[in-house]
Amino acid sequence: MQIDPITLEIIANRFDEIQRIMKHRLFRTGYSTILRESFDGGAGLLDRQGRVIGASGMSIHTRPYAFFIAGVLAAFAEKDIAEGDVFISNDPYRGGVAHSPDMAVATPVFADGRLIAFCTSIAHKPDVGGLAPGSASPASRSIFHEGLLVPPCKLFERGQLVDGVKRILENNSRTPKLLLGDLFGQVGCTRIGAQLFQELTQREGVATILNAIEQLMDSSERQLREGLRRIPDGKVTVDSFLDGDGVVERPIRIALTVTKQGDGITFDFTGSEPQTPGPANTVVQSVEAAAITGLLSAVDHTVPNNEGVRRVVTFILPQDSVVNPTSPAPVNSYIPTSHLVFNAVMEAIGTLAPERAAAASGLGLGGMALGYAHTRAGGSHVHYEITLTATGGTARGDGCSAIMPMSNLESVQPIEIVESEFPVRITDFSMLPDSCGPGRHRGGVGVRREMELLEDAQFVSRLSQRRYGAKGLAGGMAPSVSRTVVREAGVERALPGLALLQMKAGDRVRIEQSGGGGWGDARLRDPEAVLRDVDDGIVSPESARRDYGVVAQRNVNGELVVAALERG
């Protein structure tokens, strides 16, 4: 039964509204700064088979939702799923999440006595145990080093809390109050979603809703296939390299061959490095999420990201590789690897269709944590932050600054919040001059953030790309590479991307993030645009002259002006 277009549009918009309400409630009830300030989480709707209807929040959680529900359905027969149940998991291999700090929650939706959907949420927890604060130690050599692993199980059964599961969770975290506070916020948001989904079903009827789900998936598939037909057929191979895996600082290859034919596309990762002993591996669901985000960004960002999109793409992921590891391979530093996948997809499609091309977004994504064993407020505490970078320039304009490109995350924890909740002082938070790749359209600008510790702490860095940086495009130049610098007893030293060390009160850590790559010849950039960048402190006078051929000086009135053009 085909639903008329008006009714279908109403239902589609209601699904979207339910996802957004869930996400909003999740962020507003978050206990930890990683959730309520960094917004590292989201919510989604899936049908009874575990197919994605839609999601809101971190875009790289969209495919993990499907793998999580697949894990739930593998562990529980449908007869064992009842109203009032709430399922959880944080196991990357059995529960569908990207790494153990991500906890997934699902509430089933029933109508007329039968299961019709799931309302889900994934949110990053500040700590779930393991070797280091934040559960993301570079010393991990096994998934079992990365904290408590919860297989798909019930946290609530027919509306009643399973107290034993709750007590296991709080007993295995350095921050039990934050973990449980965030977790119950997820429970609450998925229950609200289930209630709203049931109300929609009661109004429209079960048959109409189920038919609408099928039509919306079919629509996304058609729209993406139409977009692909507008791109020339061809095959492109892109090689990317990680600095290392935390064990050996050697290049780790991520190989991707993209074959576009007609209205289909294949992502073949044959040739990628075998799975690493250190935590640089990324599980299949994260690879799919990063690749599909890049695909939609390059082809048609208006396509709703549901199961219909997944039908269009063929993945070839060699088993026991860095992009398809086998348990118990560690995976906690998956973000840098996934980001290379995102950039590689964007580069390959940009090669096939140059008018859609964007220079690479800046590398060095990931996170950092400071773990305090005994704070002034009493007890242990974990300060966890996501690091942001910038997108590359395009034929249309400059890149965006201070963003997590493959997730569209734009939030940095405010200084006031950080200093009020953790024993730390932010001594510098600014845009980093000359971090953007020069070009006719420059890349977005990287961020610099320096913190002084007010108490002894353990510092954990789960970043990468201190040696292998992003690329420029169409004659554009590469941006700076990211850096992490610590100052101990007045002496500064640079750290590798994956690092773990004990620091003292008074020590400082500074993270300098890469900007995006430049697009086009920098010598063709509008001199007035270069002047504005110099005036804003984004581009130094030295870079303006060297890279853009623009001599910027102040006149007798103190105004910054273009004094000369030195362009060949």
Tens of pLDDT, residue by residue over 41-70, are 999 999 999 999 999 999 899 999 999 999
N residues, the chain: 568
**Closest residue by Cα to residue 273 from 257, 290, 251, 288:** 251
Residue 50 contacts residue 73 (beta carbons within 8 Å):
yes
Backbone CA torsion sign across 296, 300, 304, 308:
negative
Is the confidence at residue 380, as pLDDT, over 80? no
Query: How is residue 57 annotated by DSSP?
Result: E
Is the confidence at residue 258, as pLDDT, over 70? yes
Q: What is the pLDDT of residue 564?
A: 82
Strands (E), 3-85: 41-47, 52-57
pLDDT tens digits along 185-225:
999 999 999 999 999 999 999 999 999 999 999 999 999 99
Helices and strands per DSSP (H, E), number in the chain: 12, 22
Is the confidence at residue 377, as pLDDT, over 60? no
Is the confidence at residue 486, as pLDDT, over 90? yes
Mean predicted confidence (pLDDT) in 394-418? 88
Given pLDDT bands bounded at 50, 70 and 90, which one contains residue 507? Answer: very high
> Which structure tokens are listed for 411?
């939030």
Q: What is the pLDDT of residue 74?
A: 98
Strand partners, 451: 426, 509
User: Of 74-78, 258-262, 466-470, 520-524, where does mean pLDDT reach its minimum?
Assistant: 466-470
How far apart CA 105 and CA 96 sit, in angstroms, is: 11
- The pLDDT mean for the chain works out to 94
How far apart CA 335 and CA 333 sit, in angstroms, is: 6
Q: What is the pLDDT of residue 156?
A: 98
Residue 431 contacts residue 537 (beta carbons within 8 Å):
yes
Query: 524-556 burial, b for 16+ CB within 10 Å, e for fewer?
Result: ebebebbbebbeeebbeeebbbebbbbbbeeee
Q: What is the pLDDT of residue 136?
A: 87
Is the confidence at residue 504, as pLDDT, over 90? yes
In the chain, where the domains are located: 5-222, 358-522, 526-568
How far apart CA 416 and CA 15 sit, in angstroms, is: 36
The enclosing H or E element of 124 equals strand 114-124
How far apart CA 330 and CA 140 sit, in angstroms, is: 6
How far apart CA 313 and CA 306 sit, in angstroms, is: 12
Residue 516 contacts residue 443 (beta carbons within 8 Å):
yes
Q: What is the pLDDT of residue 5?
A: 92
How far apart CA 437 and CA 496 sit, in angstroms, is: 22
Mean predicted confidence (pLDDT) in 320-325? 98
Is the confidence at residue 356, as pLDDT, over 60? yes
Q: What is the pLDDT of residue 557?
A: 85
Is the confidence at residue 379, as pLDDT, over 70? no
For strand 424-431 and strand 491-495, is the pairing parallel, antiparallel, or unpaired?
Answer: unpaired
Q: What is the pLDDT of residue 566?
A: 86
Three-state helix/strand/coil letters over 205-261: CHHHHHHHHHHHHHHHHHHHHHHHHCCCCEEEEEEEEECCCCCCCCCEEEEEEEEEE
**Closest residue by Cα to residue 372 from 298, 259, 458:** 458
Give the contacts of 13 (CB within 8 A, at least 6 positions apart). Answer: none
Q: What is the pLDDT of residue 25?
A: 97
In angstroms, what CA-CA distances link 38 with 57, 386, 410, 498? 11, 7, 8, 21
Is the confidence at residue 409, as pLDDT, over 90? no
Helix (H, G, I), strand (E, B) or coil at 465: coil
How far apart CA 272 and CA 287 sit, in angstroms, is: 12
Helix (H, G, I), strand (E, B) or coil at 340: helix
Residue 293 contacts residue 60 (beta carbons within 8 Å):
yes
**Closest residue by Cα to residue 258 from 357, 349, 353:** 349
Residue 471 contacts residue 478 (beta carbons within 8 Å):
yes
User: Of 246-250, 285-289, 401-405, where does mean pLDDT reach its minimum?
Assistant: 246-250
Mean predicted confidence (pLDDT) in 30-44? 94
Q: What is the pLDDT of residue 376?
A: 58
Range picked from 27-36, 242-251, 313-322 for highest mean pLDDT? 313-322
Q: For residue 346, count other CB atoms closer than 10 A to its CB.
A: 28
Is the confidence at residue 378, as pLDDT, over 70? no
For strand 264-268 and strand 313-316, is the pairing parallel, antiparallel, or unpaired?
Answer: parallel
pLDDT tens digits along 104-124:
999 999 999 999 999 999 999
Phi, psi of 548 (to 5 degrees): -105, -10
Helix (H, G, I), strand (E, B) or coil at 291: helix
How deeply is 204 buried, as exposed, middle or buried, from its count of CB atoms within 10 A (0-12, 13-18, 19+)?
Answer: middle
What's the pTM value of the predicted model, to 2 decimals? 0.95
The structure tokens 């993406």 sit at: 224
Residue 564 contacts residue 549 (beta carbons within 8 Å):
no
Mean predicted confidence (pLDDT) in 334-344? 95
**Closest residue by Cα to residue 138 from 526, 460, 422, 532:** 460
Residue 281 contacts residue 337 (beta carbons within 8 Å):
yes
Mean predicted confidence (pLDDT) in 320-336? 96
Q: What percentage of the chain carries pLDDT values higher than 90? A: 86
